[in-house]
A and B are shown apart, each in its own frame.
Chain A
Amino acid sequence: MFQILDENGKIVNKDDMPDLSDDELKELMRRMVYTRVLDQRSIALNRQGRLGFYAPTAGQEASQLGSHFALEKEDFILPGYRDVPQLIWHGLPLYQAFLFSRGHFHGNQMPEGVNALSPQIIIGAQYVQTAGVALGKKLRGNKSVAVTYTGDGGTSQGDFYEGINFAGAYGAPAIFFVQNNHFAISVPVEKQTAAKTLAQKAIAAGIEGIQVDGMDVLAMYAVTKHARERAINGEGPMLIEALTYRYGPHTMAGDDPTRYRTEDLNNEWEKKDPIVRFRTFLESKKLWSEEEENKVIEQAKEDIKAAIKETDKYPKQKVTDLISNMYEELPQNLKEQMEEYKEKESK
């Protein structure tokens, strides 16, 4: 397992230490703390009925944000349903992320210049699509990459294998992440496969694979940066397995993790918390303080409050909106239905 920062916030691998400025290190911490607050508030808002579909992210901050921090704006992200934080840090406004959760099309309207799809619900589909985006970049001669994420359970899908295999066959600039949080809802990773690592599945595609400490933000950043450089230099795709953990339930739709996980296991992973270890590291370099952290927390809470207000104010969907988003030019049947619903909506 590739690691730079151990559980105690000590650098254990100086050679691979990424070249990050003090400001960049602080920005990484800021993003992780912010995202932890976002998770806590999202769970609360979901319980109050002010958000809809929500897949908790606490525990996965290093995996999600360390990898994202190594990307450039022109890189295209194909996220899974738990990967909303990457979208937000790629430029999706918070209120739109909330609209996605509630089930409003505007949540999926990526602003101009935000190169991403909205979160993919069909597990594995983002992998085959990533092969296509990456091939497109290669054919265009663009120096950018396609990046996608799935979970440990997702590695059992056919589309997972097909995606990495196609990208390999075309030498396409793609980075495939597996966030192994050890459970696919209630099914532990040992029941997905007899393979000892998920990274080794790269061998089947003939591409590079690596297993990384997904609770170590520096390792996640360094590996992603490396994969990106390889990809834009024409060396093909990479599969990166991040060993991580979700502290919360699978989603907020009634999953109860106490049915399948022990307290001991939770405690073991909480000791590996990505924020705790990075905080220790930054404090040892005099780059972080409680005061700074509280400032981030307050900022996050304020932003979330403002965003949920904006979400509330956003115009409700009409059937005519949904119809007009179906085709560039409406076919006969939808033209008729458009008239019907215009009439209904005018009453």
Chain B
Amino acid sequence: MAQMTMIQAITDALRTELKNDENVLVFGEDVGQNGGVFRATEGLQDEFGEDRVFDTPLAESAIGGLSIGLALEGFRPVPEIQFFGFVYEVMDSINGQMARTRYRSGNTKQQPITIRSPFGGGVNTPELHADSLEGLVAQQPGLKVVIPSTPYDAKGLLLASIRDNDPVVFLEHMKLYRSFRGEVPEEEYTVDLSKADVKREGKDVTLIAYGAMVHACLKAADELEKNNINAEVIDLRTVSPIDVDTIIKSVEKTNRVVVVQEAQRQAGVAANIVTEIQERAILHLEAPVLRVTAPDTVYPFSEAEDIWLPDHKDIMEKVDQVINF
């Protein structure tokens, strides 16, 4: 076991898979000699050469198209979109093309592509860097959308994503890149893309979250414990498709739920989770399922992040409401 930050765990996963599979290619803007704007690909070009790890011209749409074409030639592309706010440029390649290729070819062609992209608030980035746009890709059939919250999950989920023979959007929360270290096995392992993870067991209320909000939930749960409220925290890990079984099992135990996301209320995936719960477990509910989200405005100017982003206090308020409903 080693202590790694999430960014180190990601680099470790990329190195592992570049070594394991000669079809794996890593490319994007500044991922080569520069090692990526967050150092996620540091040292990889020196180790594996320019044919495996390379820079691209500055054009997201063609990075997507390049991935599609390389996949058609039998490669396993791991492209990077520098910040997920730039996904609009490459929306057709992702949602309009690679997500549909297996289906439109009648299962004769596949797209084993993993798109890595940073997102997420709390680090005072300029405009359109931090936006949570996972909801947009979560709505596209043919994709899987993965958002790790720990170094351990990041490595295992990224290895599983790269090995998956269908396209995966792998979103990396910028605030989690270096904010803490966690135990990460040095050997290779995968984390199942179809499974949520119970990060904390509890019996009074279920908190469902992903990304940075997992840590906000854990912090809230610690505070709630002081008031004798025992919260269960589920980390979705994969936000599309959703592991409904793990959620429903928890709801049947706690009978109260709060769904937590950093994205605006009209965005993200929380509404989908609430719907699944009401369709499958309404008779187990003692209170309505409430959501903690950001307000429905454009992502804040960086000085306003503190007052805009949801935090553990917002979560505790909603828990209070579902407990005292």
Contacts and interface: CB of A to CB of B under 8 A. Distances in A.
A159 interface: yes
Interface string B32-76: 000000000000000000010000110101101111111111110
Nearest to B66: A132
Nearest to B77: A132
Given A105-B103, A127-B65, 13 more contacts: A108-B104, A125-B96, A128-B64, A128-B65, A132-B68, A162-B62, A163-B62, A165-B57, A169-B57, A326-B141, A326-B142, A327-B166, A333-B244
A109 B101 CA distance: 11
Given A118-B104, A128-B65, A133 B142 contact: no
A117 B141 contact: no
A110 B75 contact: no
A322 interface: yes
A326 B92 contact: no
B103 A325 contact: yes
Contacts of A133: 69-70, 72-73
Interface stretch (A11-19, A136-144, A234-242): A136-144
Task: Determine the interface band of chain A, counting residues with CB < 8 A from chain B.
Answer: 35 or more
A135 B73 CA distance: 9
Interface stretch (B105-113, B183-191, B198-206): B105-113
A300 interface: no
Q: A-B pairs with the 8 shortest C-beta distances? A: A132-B69, A128-B65, A136-B73, A162-B62, A133-B69, A331-B241, A109-B106, A105-B106
Interface residues of B, number: 44
A163 B66 CA distance: 9
Nearest to B110: A328
- Most chain A beta-carbon neighbours within 10 Å: one of B66, B69, B241: B69
A146 interface: yes
A332 B93 contact: no
Contacts of A166: 56-57, 59, 62, 65-66
28 contacts: A105-B106, A108-B105, A109-B106, A122-B96, A125-B92, A125-B96, A125-B97, A127-B65, A128-B69, A132-B67, A132-B72, A133-B69, A133-B73, A136-B73, A136-B74, A136-B75, A139-B75, A159-B61, A166-B59, A322-B103, A325-B102, A325-B103, A326-B142, A328-B102, A332-B194, A332-B243, A332-B245, A334-B241
Contacts of A218: none
Contacts of A162: 57, 59, 61-62, 65
B69 A122 contact: no
Contacts of A324: 107
Interface string A110-129: 10000001100010010111
Contact of A327 (B75, B97, B142): B142
Contact of B70 (A105, A109, A135): A135
Contacts of B69: 128-136, 146
Interface in A153-167: 158-159, 162-163, 165-166
A328 B166 contact: yes
A70 B84 CA distance: 42
Interface of A: 76, 105-106, 108-110, 117-118, 122, 125, 127-137, 139-140, 146, 158-159, 162-163, 165-166, 169, 322, 324-328, 331-334
Given A135-B66, A163-B62, A327-B166, A332 B108 contact: no
Contacts of A106: 106
B88 to A, nearest CB: 12
Contacts of B7: none
B165 interface: yes
A117 B105 contact: yes
A72 B178 CA distance: 51
A159 B65 contact: yes
Interface string B166-200: 10000000000000000000000000001000000
B96 A332 contact: no
Contact of B65 (A108, A125, A327): A125
Contact of A139 (B51, B102, B107, B243): B51
B242 interface: yes
A133 B111 CA distance: 13
Contacts of B64: 128
Contacts of B142: 326-327
A125 B93 contact: yes
A136 B62 contact: no
Given A122-B96, A139-B51, A165 B59 contact: yes
A108 B100 CA distance: 12
A173 B284 CA distance: 61
A102 B150 CA distance: 48
Contacts of B244: 332-333
A163 B65 contact: yes
B166 A128 contact: no
Contacts of A327: 102, 142, 166
B116 interface: no
A227 to B, nearest CB: 18
Contact of A332 (B57, B92, B164, B241): B241
A320 to B, nearest CB: 13
Contacts of A169: 56-57
B312 interface: no
Contacts of A334: 241
A80 B75 CA distance: 24
